[in-house]
């Protein structure tokens, strides 16, 4: 039977129960218990001073990514304009009433005022937004062989071609889709009415070339859709 050195055991217990180890255990328990609260506090911490050194957290704006290509610059410019009350317009310069679409818009008057003062930028923004809308609309309806046709014409956009040079895309479409009721005039007519294909010359000797919007459409879908070249038919 072993002998216990009670004096040594009491000394060991005294050391364990002294304040530095107990404080450490309490600190660990509090850290795990209130971890979420501490994380939230640190996220909202703006500055701190530790051992004579001051630390400043970056502002929220600095942590944001730079504005994207698709950002609506027109809307941001309108928001930056001071809000103009409807009754603050000078009587010597009467303004026409706003249409129903803008009547209840708190930024309606400011938007119209911005458009009057910045007509060129307004047209640029309108064309950009309209082009994006048309590209999205077309991407939801165009066939894969029609995209291939546009790619062929995009290789030499200034050189119009005859129908015989691009008709193989239509033949491939018929083979894959197994649809003979969809005529080539409709196949090409869809691209023409969508604004990506231009036609010139007499009906029996028509020439086809890709339009500027057609080039922009190809650039847009390649940059936006990872499966742009995997469309059906």
DSSP character string of the chain: -PPP-HHHHHHHHHHHTSHHHHHHHHHHHHHHHTHHHHHHHHHH--EEEETTEEEEPPPHHHHSPPPPTT--HHHHHHHHSPP--GGGS-TTS--PPPPHHHHT-TTHHHHHHHHHH-HHHHHHHHHHHHHHHHHHHHHTT--HHHHHHHHHHHTSTTS-EEHHHHHHHHHHHHHHHT-SSS-HHHHHHHHHHTTSEEEES-GGG-EEEE-HHHHHHHHHHHHH-TTTT----
Among 64-78, 93-107, 111-125, top mean pLDDT goes to 111-125
Q: Is the pLDDT of residue 18 over 90?
A: no
pLDDT at 17 over 70: no
Under 8 Å between Cβ of 170 and 184 = yes
* Placement of tokens 């950009």 in the chain: 128
Weakest-pLDDT range from 32-41, 47-56, 142-151, 223-232: 47-56
Query: Could you tell me which CATH number the domain at 143-224 has?
Result: 1.10.10.10
Mean pLDDT of the chain: 76
Nearest to 81, CA basis, from 51, 32, 118, 44: 118
66 pLDDT above the threshold of 70: no
Residue 112 has pLDDT above 90, yes or no: no
Predicted local distance difference test score (pLDDT) of residue 188:
95
Tokens of 64: 């944001």
Average pLDDT (195-206) is 90
Q: Tell me: the pLDDT tens digits for 147-199? A: 999 999 999 999 999 999 999 999 999 988 887 788 999 999 999 999 999 99
Are 138 and 194 in contact by the 8 Å Cβ rule? The answer is: yes
Question: How large is the average pLDDT for residues 94-112?
Answer: 78
Task: Please state the rounded mean pLDDT for residues 210-232.
Answer: 92
Tell whether the model's pLDDT for residue 8 goes beyond 80. Answer: no
Name, of 18-32, 41-55, 155-169, the range with top average pLDDT: 155-169
Domain with CATH 1.10.10.10 in the chain: 143-224
Which residues lie closer than 8 Å to 81 by C-beta, 6 or more apart?
107, 110, 113, 114
């Amino acid at each position: 039977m072993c002998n216990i050195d009670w004096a040594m055991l009491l000394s060991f217990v005294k050391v364990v129960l002294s304040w530095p180890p107990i404080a450490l255990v309490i600190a660990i328990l509090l850290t795990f218990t209130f971890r979420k609260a501490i994380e939230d506090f640190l996220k909202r911490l703006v500055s701190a001073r530790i051992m004579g050194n001051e630390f400043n957290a970056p502002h929220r704006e600095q942590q944001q990514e730079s504005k994207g290509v698709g950002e609506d610059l027109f809307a941001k410019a309108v928001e930056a304009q001071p809000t103009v009350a409807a009754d603050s317009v000078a009587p010597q310069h009467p303004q026409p009433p706003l249409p129903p679409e803008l009547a209840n818009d708190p930024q309606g008057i400011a938007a119209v005022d911005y458009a009057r003062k910045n007509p060129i930028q307004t047209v640029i923004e309108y064309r950009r937004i309209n082009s994006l809308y048309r590209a999205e609309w077309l991407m939801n309806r165009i066939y894969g062989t029609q995209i291939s046709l546009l790619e062929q014409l995009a290789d030499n956009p200034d050189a119009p071609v005859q129908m015989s040079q691009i008709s193989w895309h239509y033949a491939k479409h018929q083979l894959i889709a197994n649809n003979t009721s969809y005529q080539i005039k409709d196949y090409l007519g869809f691209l023409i009415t969508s604004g990506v294909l231009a036609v010139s010359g007499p009906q029996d000797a028509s020439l086809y070339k890709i339009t500027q919007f057609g080039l922009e459409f190809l650039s847009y879908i390649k940059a936006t859709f990872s499966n742009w070249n995997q469309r059906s038919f």
